[in-house]
Structure 1
Amino acid sequence: MSEEEKDLNETMEAIDPEEYKKMLQQPKEQDHSDLEDIITPIEVKSTRHLQIQQEQLEKEKAKENAAKNAHTAVNEVYDWFESLLMAVVFIVLLFTFIIRVNTVDGGSMTPTLQNGQKLVVTDLFYTPSYNDIVIIQAAKLDGGKPIVKRIIGLPGDTVMIDFEAGLVYRNGEQLPVETKEGYLFEDGHKINSYTNRNIEMLSKTEYTVPENCYFVLGDNRNGSKDSRAFSSIGFVDGNYIAGRAIFSLFPFSTFGTV
């Protein structure tokens, strides 16, 4: 017999058989007092009040969004009107102080400009130069109406015209004349014909352009009243130059830079 079996027999001999039977027959009872103390009744509530609360929150949120959208729409309209007003003010200031629109009256500048043509004119940072197309306006010049001419001579220049040959000289040099693409060009710009009309100017006689004055001609050389007409226009005071024509607006066939 092994040592373990000996120990088990000794243990069984030490237990009273009757007591052992009673112990086996006694019903087992469990003490649930501690568990009852821990577990508390669960109160079951309805979820309807939660749904009502959710609906109220959604309604309030919808009202807030509607108010926010209305405020945004009002702001957009206000911003639109503000932008429109600023644009109008800008255009007014632009056309009052920086640029103006003038209409060509007559055919003195053909073939470059046509009667009724709309020109954008500016005098911003402008210093007159050769071949510029300018708007001239003064009460004593040609009845005070705006006239459109091209600058040929600057202050201090000498100008002479050979009316028989139709050639213009500046500071002793003839302005180059050439024919191309069916047009007559003088000093790089179109003219309608040679300069044969003298008006009040003597042929082959040099004239000196006075200080702060300019000698101007129309591109329609034999159909223009300009600096050759000493009694009505003559040398143009620089203060009478309203600005330089930089752009053609109308007719649309002429739309672009001048």
Structure 2
Amino acid sequence: MATQKTETKGGLWDTAKIVLQALVLALVVRTFLFQPFNIPSGSMMDTLLIGDYIFVSKYSYGFSRYSFPFGIVPFEGRVLASEPQRGDVVVFKLPTDNSTDYIKRVIGLPGDRIQMRDGVLYINDVAVPKVADGFFEDRDQFGIERQIPRFRETLPNGVSYDVLDLDPNGSWDNTQVYVVPPGHYFMMGDNRDNSSDSRVLDHVGYVPFENLVGKARMIFFSIDGDQGAWQVWKWPTDVRWGRIFKLL
């Protein structure tokens, strides 16, 4: 009997060790390598859609306190730092509350002058090429299908991506000149008329280097934004199979 109890205790302890090791491994991977995020808004359409699930590389720009869950490691700045490149799609902590995760594209680097004029992006007073690229099909809040004009932008370093511009005279199509401070970055969403980004100084504004969480690398799962990923029975019809494992 004693032997049976000892074996039972040993089995429970072995199971507990395996669970603990798995948790530690998951924490290490999440903190230093890759962290999953899901996309809750359309501010980065059509690069990222509501219902996309992405992996973000935590090591791309080095590590700050925001690399750790709940910012529990209290230190300033970054270690093993590597600066983002113009055009990177980045997850960062919202500067105005340092707890909310945002995802946008890096448009302005420290010292840059950024402005929107008649829907055209200017970097250091030079217009970024914007070429018509068909339409993006979407549904509005009432379920009505609509076609949103899509354009191809190419940044000075050669990075190209699509932007959407539903309203040719939108609220943020003409802006002031933004001068990016040292150690900060200017972020913009690809869905230009539906993105609260660095153009809104009292909400997002200039993003400190310290606030960068990581670089978006890949879509590992995608499902229609009206459905939950846990609704497995809906996968055959609602999963966007063509977006899975798409690199960013």
What is the TM-score of this pair, normalised by structure 1? Answer: 0.60
- Paired with 1:159 and 1:95, the residues of 2 have a C-alpha distance of 34
Other structure's SS at 1:147 match: strand
Runs (4 or more) in structure 1 with deviation over 6 Å come to: 82-88
Equivalent residue number for residue 131 of structure 1: 87
Query: Do 2:95 and 2:211's aligned partners in 1 also have CA atoms closer than 8 Å?
Result: no
Q: 1:224 deviation in Å? A: 0.6
Structure of higher CA gyration radius? 1
For 1:219, the aligned partner's letter is D
Q: 1:131 deviation in Å? A: 0.8
Structure 1 residues 196 and 242: CA distance shift in structure 2, 3 A: farther
- Structure having greater relative contact order (Cα 8 Å, sep ≥ 6): 2
Other structure's SS at 2:197 match: coil
Structure 1 residues 177 and 202: CA distance shift in structure 2, 3 A: closer
Q: Deviations over 1:123-159 (max 9, x none)?
A: 3142211111111114724x83211101100011111
Structure 1 residues 196 and 228: CA distance shift in structure 2, 3 A: farther
For 1:151, the aligned partner's letter is V
Q: Does 1:190 align with 2:158?
A: no
Structure 1 residues 140 and 180: CA distance shift in structure 2, 3 A: closer
Q: CA RMSD in A?
A: 2.9
Structure 1 unmatched ranges of 5 or more: 1-81
Equivalent residue number for residue 147 of structure 1: 102
Structure-to-structure mapping, 1:105-254, within 5 angstroms: 105-126=40-61, 127-138=83-94, 140-141=96-97, 144-162=99-117, 165-180=118-133, 182=135, 183-187=150-154, 188-193=160-165, 196-199=169-172, 203=175, 205-251=176-222, 252-254=241-243
Structure 2 unmatched ranges of 5 or more: 1-16, 62-82, 136-149, 155-159, 223-240
- Paired with 1:223 and 1:208, the residues of 2 have a C-alpha distance of 22
Equivalent residue number for residue 104 of structure 1: 39
% identity of equivalent residues = 28
Query: Do 1:105 and 1:147's aligned partners in 2 also have CA atoms closer than 8 Å?
Result: no
> Alignment length, in residue pairs?
175
For 2:132, the aligned partner's letter is T
Q: 1:180 deviation in Å? A: 3.2
Structure number with higher strand proportion = 2
- Paired with 2:108 and 2:169, the residues of 1 have a C-alpha distance of 18
Other structure's SS at 2:242 match: helix
What is the TM-score of this pair, normalised by structure 2? Answer: 0.62
Other structure's SS at 2:48 match: coil
